[in-house]
Amino acid sequence: MRVIVVGAGALGTMHAWHAVQRGHEVVHLEREEQARGASVRNFGLVWVGGRAEGPDLDTALRARQLWQGIAEQVPEVGFRPSGSLTVLRTEAEHAVAAEVAARPDAAVRGWELLDEAEARKANPVLRGDLLGALWSPHDAQVEPRVTQRALQAHLRASGRYTFLGGREVREVVGENAVRDDRGELHSGDAVVLCTGAALGGLVRELAPELPVRRVRLQMMQTEPLDELLPTSVADGDSFRYYPAYAGGALDALNAAQPQHETAAAHRMQLLLVQRADGSLTIGDTHEYDQPFGFDVVEDPYAYLAALAEDLLGRPLPRIRRRWAGVYAQCLDPTAVVHRERVRAGVWLVTGPGGRGMTCSPAIGEATANELEW
């Protein structure tokens, strides 16, 4: 087959990956010279532990397997099976971790409740006050700023992959072709549109009732830390954000321990990830009401920096980058992604939300299976 993939972010690249792996030819179109959206503006986390039971968790676990296999072929993606620690600093947070670690699905997730000594042994860089941590061994990391390019380079070596950057698709022509903004027609046996958070224009024309919204977030990155952070780190606010932790103990946490006003105002959690160069990626916020601001807001950055310093028990390196990003999220909280045939031979795949980097290998695989590539 000849497959036309539109969009070179995490989803589009993984659809191209599975098509080439199955022996097909791919023409891959991207409106920018390289993807510049949420697929490069994220933590690079393969985040399994917090996923909701059912298709969400199943997809994440499958994607985790696929990421490991992909990394064996493309080491440049920077895959590191580091696991994560959700740090517990109050009795109410500890109760949430204890409750979920005792659930029947804890073994599938690999959850383990660590006491203070065990948590510090797992991550000696955590020198701040803590009661323990929830260990999630299946969580991992890749390098978001280089992953898509590394995968493209590997695909190009197959001789069956053509990447065309700076080509915005303006029109779907018939059942199996698209026309770009240079007037060039690209035709094949199937078209897959992975347009990320670009939900207007062509996407609105093809799917005017798309059940997907846009979400904006803020993040930052430090200069390299002079220590190795052996795990990813989350704080107790992640219990409020990820669906896996819902239950009586979380209800009690919300009642007894309201979020800090800055965290609540910006719908925040702390995620702390070390990049391959030693720098720390720190975030994040969640903004849902449009129109989004065009600027970044300083209060969340100050809050996150202070919280990270409390957990590490030391000053952070100098902040060298701040940015905002926008991703597409399904309105149905139980949906992993929105996959829709918008025309015979033409599929739209969008809306994975904050799980795009985590789940994209498995989402691409599922599309390939459904289309019988």
The pLDDT confidence band at residue 205, using thresholds 50, 70 and 90, is: very high
Percent of residues, the chain, with pLDDT higher than 70: 100
Segment 349-358, tens digit of pLDDT = 999 999 999 9
Q: What are phi and psi of 262, to 5 degrees?
A: -70, -45
Judged against a pLDDT cut of 90, whether residue 122 lies above it is answered with yes
Closest to 276 measured CA to CA, from 47, 67, 78 = 78
The pLDDT confidence band at residue 164, using thresholds 50, 70 and 90, is: very high
Alpha-carbon 55 to chain mean position = 16
Closest to 237 measured CA to CA, from 218, 263, 217, 214 = 263
What SS3 state is found at 330? strand
The pLDDT confidence band at residue 207, using thresholds 50, 70 and 90, is: very high
Judged against a pLDDT cut of 90, whether residue 168 lies above it is answered with yes
pLDDT at 102: 97
Segment 55-94, tens digit of pLDDT = 999 999 999 999 999 999 999 999 999 999 999 999 999 9
The pLDDT confidence band at residue 175, using thresholds 50, 70 and 90, is: confident
Segment 40-59, tens digit of pLDDT = 999 999 999 999 999 999 99
Q: What is the mean pLDDT of the chain?
A: 97
Q: Calculate mean pLDDT across residues 15-31.
A: 98
Q: 12-40 as b/e, with b when 16 or more CB fall inside 10 Å?
A: bbbbbbbbbbeebbbbbbbbeebbebbbb
pLDDT at 137: 98
The pLDDT confidence band at residue 112, using thresholds 50, 70 and 90, is: very high
Segment 1-11, tens digit of pLDDT = 999 999 999 99
| Domains of the chain listed by start with CATH number | 2-43+145-210+334-370 (3.50.50.60), 84-137+212-330 (3.30.9.10)
